[in-house]
């Protein structure tokens, strides 16, 4: 008869194997990007794959177009402003849906969350008509405004705020705190982990956003990084070397945001001040 400890050991081993296999699926493409960034163009598609570039060259980085820094700055501008607006709208609406009582609150929340299931391709035409009628076509403002609200972020913040005991809010109200005071002095400081997660998810999504940028941006000086990466693909040839080098550079902002925000994600109850 198999003992409990043996079953537990096999269970953990199986989990580690699954996690290890999944990690390889993530690491191998990243390793291939890094390797290809320093290879000659003819060696990138060679088979079998040579993981260590021979010769080791920087030619792909030197081939990046002169307006590549502009693409990075445009992406940083659009992404940072969009993330800030999403944090503001998601936290305020999440608090209103979770802790404030008003007519049709639950019905409106269900409708708002249902919008997650609507693909952007199905609403892009009416959205484009609105953006163009407002004179925001081919501007960063049009790209930012259409992404300022996030149903996913609202849902995530609402679920977090619902875990905050109502007794804590009632005690604050007894002390004379208003709803705005409770929101800014209690709810936001307690939600650092949820806010960090929202920032990471939103930054990664809009840093890599291509479809809406392709629709709303046409001027070369306003193009974002995903649009700039597409310029290495021509009708007859794909320049894999510079494309891989550009993709490698584009990873660093997301990595910096993750490293900065990860310490706020894992928070135990004692860190929130809600325990006991």
SS3 category, 224: coil
> Is the domain of 104 the same as that of 195?
yes
> Is the domain of 14 the same as that of 74?
no
Domain with 71, as residue range(s), is: 65-272
The span from the CA of 94 to the CA of 100, in Å, is: 10
> Is the domain of 226 the same as that of 122?
yes
> Is the domain of 158 the same as that of 33?
no
CATH code where residue 121 lies:
1.10.3720.10
pLDDT tens, 91-133? 999 999 988 888 888 888 888 888 888 888 888 899 999 999 9
CA dihedral 246, 247, 251, 253 (to 10 degrees): 40
Choose among 29, 23, 30, 55: nearest CA to 42: 55
pLDDT tens, 46-92? 778 778 888 888 888 887 877 888 999 999 999 999 999 999 999 99
> Is the domain of 79 the same as that of 22?
no
Choose among 119, 118, 140: nearest CA to 131: 140
> Is the domain of 82 the same as that of 191?
yes
> Is the domain of 11 the same as that of 138?
no
The span from the CA of 264 to the CA of 194, in Å, is: 8
For the chain, the farthest-separated pair of C-alpha atoms sits apart, in whole angstroms, at 74
Which residues are paired to 233 by β-bridges?
A: 238
> Is the domain of 167 the same as that of 191?
yes
The span from the CA of 146 to the CA of 211, in Å, is: 12
The span from the CA of 252 to the CA of 254, in Å, is: 5
The span from the CA of 152 to the CA of 161, in Å, is: 14
The span from the CA of 82 to the CA of 173, in Å, is: 33
pLDDT tens, 5-54? 676 777 788 888 888 888 888 888 888 888 888 888 777 777 787 788 88
Look at 116 and 268; give whichever has higher pLDDT. Answer: 116
pLDDT of 274 reads 42
pLDDT of 183 reads 86
């Amino acid at each position: 008869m198999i003992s409990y400890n043996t079953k537990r050991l096999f269970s953990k081993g199986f989990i580690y194997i699954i996690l290890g296999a999944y990690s390889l699926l993530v690491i191998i493409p990243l390793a291939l990007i890094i390797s290809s960034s320093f290879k000659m163009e003819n060696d990138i598609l060679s088979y079998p794959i040579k993981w260590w570039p021979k010769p080791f060259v920087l030619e792909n980085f030197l081939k990046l177009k002169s307006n590549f820094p502009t693409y990075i700055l445009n992406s940083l501008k659009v992404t940072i402003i969009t993330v800030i607006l999403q944090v503001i709208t998601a936290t305020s609406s999440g608090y209103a849906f979770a802790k404030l009582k008003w007519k049709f609150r639950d019905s409106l929340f269900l409708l708002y969350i249902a919008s997650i299931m609507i693909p952007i391709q199905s609403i892009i035409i009416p959205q484009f008509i609105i953006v163009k009628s407002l004179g925001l076509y081919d501007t960063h403002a049009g790209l930012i405004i259409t992404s300022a609200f996030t149903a996913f972020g609202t849902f995530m913040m609402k679920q977090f705020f619902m875990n905050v005991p109502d007794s804590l809010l009632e005690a604050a109200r007894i002390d004379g705190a208003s709803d705005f005071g409770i929101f800014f002095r209690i709810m936001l400081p307690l939600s650092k982990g949820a806010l960090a997660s929202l920032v990471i998810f939103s930054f990664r999504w809009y840093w890599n956003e291509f479809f809406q940028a392709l629709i709303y941006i046409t001027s070369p000086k306003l193009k974002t990084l995903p649009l700039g990466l597409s310029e290495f693909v021509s009708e007859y040839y794909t320049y894999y070397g510079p494309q891989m080098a550009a993709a490698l550079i584009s990873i660093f902002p997301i990595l910096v945001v993750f490293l900065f925000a990860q310490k706020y994600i894992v928070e135990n109850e004692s860190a929130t001040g809600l325990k006991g």
